[in-house]
Structures are given as C-alpha cells and as structure tokens.
Amino acid sequence: MHCIQYDEFVCVEMIYHEICSSDFRSQQWFNYLYDDDQINERNFRSTASTQFQSLGSLCKLTRETIDTSLTQFYATKLITSQLLSNEIFQNRIHSLITLQKTTSQSFKRTLNIIEEILHGNSYMSVYQTNWKFTILERENFSPIYTNPMKYQSCSCGTSSLCCEPVIIDNSIIDGLFIGCYPMKTILQSSLQCFYNETCLQIILSYFQKSSSNNISFQILSSNNSYGTDEKVEQMVDRLFVDQWNINRSYENYYEKCHPTFCTYSYIEYFNIFYIVTTILTMFYDDPQKIHVSDPRPSESNAIPSPGFHRIRRIPVGSDKILYWIRVWDCSTWI
C-alpha cells in the first residue's frame, strides 16, 4: 500500500486577473473617488469608492479562499495498492484535481448567502442606495419612514439586482452602474472603461480634485483572453484566475513510491537432453564425468513442460539479475 501527500508531486500555480494588482485596487484610487459631500446622493460619486473597495475585497477574499483550498488539497494523500504507471498516474491525478470548480462553488455559495441575508432582512445601506429615509412632517412630531429606492422602475424593496447605467455629462459610461447595493452593483458591472484612456479621463475629470492634479492611474491591458466587457461577476465565478497551471511530477511520485525490487515468473520449455543431463548431475559429484551419447534433440523434439518455472528477482533500476531459482516437476515426462 502506497500513501503519499499531493504536495510531494503536484504544484498548482495561478495567473490572476490584472485588476487585482492594478491601480484601481489601490487606496489612492479609493481616496480619489471618495466624496463625502455626495454620500447620500443618487449618483456615481456617492458609491464609486465603495464599489471599488468591494472589488478589492473580492480580490483579497478569493485569493485567501484559494490559498486555504490549496493547503487542504496538498495535505490530502494519494493511496494506491501498487505503483501506478505514468499513463494511469496522469489520468488519475487529472480526474482528482477539481480544485477550481469546488473552490469557486464554495465561495459563490457563501457570497450568495450573505447577499440574501442582507436583502431579505432589508438592511439599509449607509449610502441610502437601497432604502431612503423620508420625514413626514406633522404639527407636533415628525415620524421617519424608509422608502425603497427605484432604478429604472425596479424597486430595491423587491429585488437586490436593480441598477441603472452611470451617466456623466449626459453620456453613458460603458459597463458602470449604480444600484441598490455597492457589492451587487459592482458584480453586474464590467471594467471596459478602464481599458480605454479616453473613458478613464472622463471619470477622472468627473471626480476632479484640486489636490490631485499630479495623480495618474494606469489603464488595464487589453491582452485579456476573456474580453474587456466581461462582468465582474464572471471574474468572481473563476475566482479572478485567468489561468490554472497544474504541474504533476511522475518522477517525484515514483521516487517516493517505487518498490525496492520486482519479481516475475515465466514458463520455460526444456528439451529431453537438458532434462537427462540435469538429473544425472544430481547423482554424480563431478559433472564432467557425465557423457550422454544421444545428440541434443532438435527444437521440434523439445518437450514443453508447464512444471518448469524460473523465478527472477531483479533490483529496481538495475539490469543485473541477483539470482534465480529453478524449479521443476518431472512427473510430466516420467
């Protein structure tokens, strides 16, 4: 029985989406977007900073989730009754590695539960993007009510997915939205504006601050196999991983699991001349005194005997035979 941990022969490496290491996940970018004068207004200025902070948190949480899953995976042991061939080894490991799928499903399930709890219990966002306070003025008192916000005739009281496009200077900004919850809104958004220098300058001008004239932010690279219009939710579905590299080493596996020696047996067919000579040798001290007048029979006269076996024991990695034991049973020809 062979038992070996996966970290002995498997190494998993990931290439993450560049947004998780870009300027748009930096504290400088969050500060640039923040405007406390607009915090309760129904526009992009009120929630832009929070949306990108949520995006940064998603990057961090997905990476931590992957690291935890990898730690658990590496500690798992591969148990086999015998040494696997290279082909079987590759197929077995390929079928066992479902890390990407299971980790993504686990993360999305947790995220959905949190979102459902927040919406189901009607928790109010501090930015009043889903519910808004309404003061009903009376003569002696003024009761305060909460009314659900609406985005394009969709009420946040019944759906957490309500949103509408961001409009700056009467122009729709591609891929960006405002909606009920900053987290839910950024998930429905795409980052296509941040692949374009002109679009980015429109946003920077929209948040223009006198103290940040020398601040610049690098746009994202368009060399993205998933497309520039991919939604953030789709990125989360794959944990922001653009590519999984799973390196498997059969050499390391073999080094840990190979046997100290191998044995095999086979049937060998002897002719009658060899059998007679061998038996006579048992009764004479000097084999040189044995003379057999009959000529060695031809190959066609050889007597096959299933009772003749040779068992060989060969050390692994050596082409030399340590020893062999010859066993025969003469009952087949007497």
Residue 40 backbone phi and psi in degrees, to 5: -110, 15
How many whole angstroms from its chain centre is CA 114? 23
Q: Stretch 252-274: mean pLDDT, rounded?
A: 71
When mean pLDDT is compared over 82-86, 210-214, 248-252, the highest value belongs to 248-252
Mean pLDDT of the chain: 80
Answer yes or no: is pLDDT of 329 > 50: no
- Please determine, for residue 42, whether its predicted confidence score (pLDDT) is greater than 90: no
Q: Which of 38-42, 67-71, 271-275 has the lowest mean pLDDT?
A: 271-275
Q: For residues 40 and 125, give the distance between their C-alpha atoms in angstroms, rounded to a whole number.
A: 10
Look at 139 and 226; give whichever has higher pLDDT.
Answer: 226
Cα distances from 239 to residues 38, 182, 308, in angstroms, run 32, 19, 63
What sections of the chain are H helices per DSSP?
27-33, 44-75, 86-96, 99-120, 182-188, 197-206, 232-237, 250-257, 272-281
Percent of the chain with pLDDT over 90: 40
* pLDDT exceeds cutoff 80 at 268: no
pLDDT tens digit sequence for 206-223: 887 655 567 889 999 888
Given pLDDT bands bounded at 50, 70 and 90, which one contains residue 98? confident
Q: Is 177 helix (H, G, I), strand (E, B) or coil?
A: strand
Average pLDDT, integer, range 164-185: 93
Mean pLDDT of 304-325: 45
The residues that bridge with 241 in the sheet, in sequence order, are 16
Per the CB < 8 A criterion, the answer to whether 220 and 21 are in contact is no
Higher pLDDT, 302 or 198: 198
List, for residues 118-148, the tens digit of each pLDDT value.
Answer: 899 988 888 889 999 888 877 777 788 889 9
What does the pLDDT average to over 251-280? Answer: 72
Q: What is the distance between the alpha carbons of residues 155 and 183, in angstroms, rounded to a whole number? A: 17
Res 288 pLDDT > 80: no
- Return d(Cα 187, Cα 183) in angstroms, integer: 6
Query: How would residue 304 be classed by pLDDT, with cut points 50, 70 and 90?
Result: very low
pLDDT, greater one: 314 or 85: 85
For residue 287, what pLDDT band results from cuts at 50, 70 and 90? low
- Domain extents for the chain? 2-122+195-250, 260-332
Task: Determine contact, residues 151/178, Cβ cutoff 8 Å.
Answer: yes
